[in-house]
Amino acid sequence: MTNTLVKHFDRNVQGRDFAVGDIHGMYSMLEDMLDRVQFDPDRDRLFCVGDLIDRGPESDRTLEFLAYEWFHAVQGNHERMLIESAQDPDGLENWTTNNGGEWWLDIDTGTQSVFRKAIDALPIAMEVETEAGLVGIIHADIPAETSWSDFLDLMKDDKYLQYYAVWSRNRLRRAETEGDVTPVEGVRLMIVGHTPLRQAAQMQNIYYLDTAAAYWEEVDGAKLSLLEFSPRLELTCMETHGALRVY
């Protein structure tokens, strides 16, 4: 892994900060949502919780969005599958056959190389200063017994924690038996994706933002969710069915 694992952003004193759930190649839909909230690329910023690629129809537009100065993202498990497939033929077959990576086989090797470099450069975690306090952004989760700052320190030398950050669902699974999730110490809010939910939801100080946007054929009410988290907290959702363009 050649990326900087953690990226820090100072407070946005000119505009708003948004986070979007797992995009999964639904970029035209994201553009529609940004129009709806009157997103201003000269003042506002957009942060993605990862899983930029696969499942949806426009994974090839990921490089376009990563080139925008106002767009920032962490790696998700689908980005990890892309990176690791370079050295793992079995993983490549599994990803492109069973996990939405078919699009990868349709692009030339030169573009594949550019993709791998851009995706590998993405951080595992981002933190954003806001007037109300620090906001952490990660794809999946951090261990429930670990504070945000401790996790960032430990992750630098711990491959297991890096894996945990993009794959784990342990906190939500524990909540199924314990009745609520464990809050994260050291942040005002931690925004995550990875686990598709019927509705975006804040549980304690964790905001779950993956609402199955690319699963419109399997999930009734599949939607893309966009959260303004600074200076206010406001959720905007758009259902995939009926809003999906013909590509």
Give CA separation, 98 vs 81, 90, 215, in Å: 12, 12, 14
Q: Residue 127: in which H helix or E strand, if any?
A: strand 125-128
Do strands 6-9 and 125-128 pair parallel, antiparallel, or not at all (unpaired)? Answer: parallel
Q: Which residues, including other chains, have CB under 8 Å from residue 115's CB and lie 6 or more apart?
A: 62, 63, 82, 107
Beta-carbon contacts of residue 192 (< 8 Å; ≥ 6 apart)? 49, 137, 138, 139, 140, 141, 206, 207, 208, 209, 210
Q: What is the DSSP letter of 102?
A: G
Amino acid at 125: A
**Taking Cα atoms as reference points, which of 163, 83, 166 lies closest to residue 118?**
83
Which of 120, 124, 123, 85 shows the shortest CA–CA distance to 103? 85
Catalytic site includes residue 24: no
DSSP H or E segment with residue 162:
helix 159-167
> What six digits make up the tokens of 74?
């962490």
Question: Of 8, 24, 72, 78, which is the active-site residue?
Answer: 78
- Tell me the CA distances in angstroms from 159 to 41, 91, 101, 154, 236, one per residue in order: 35, 18, 24, 10, 35
- Which positions are annotated as active-site residues? 78
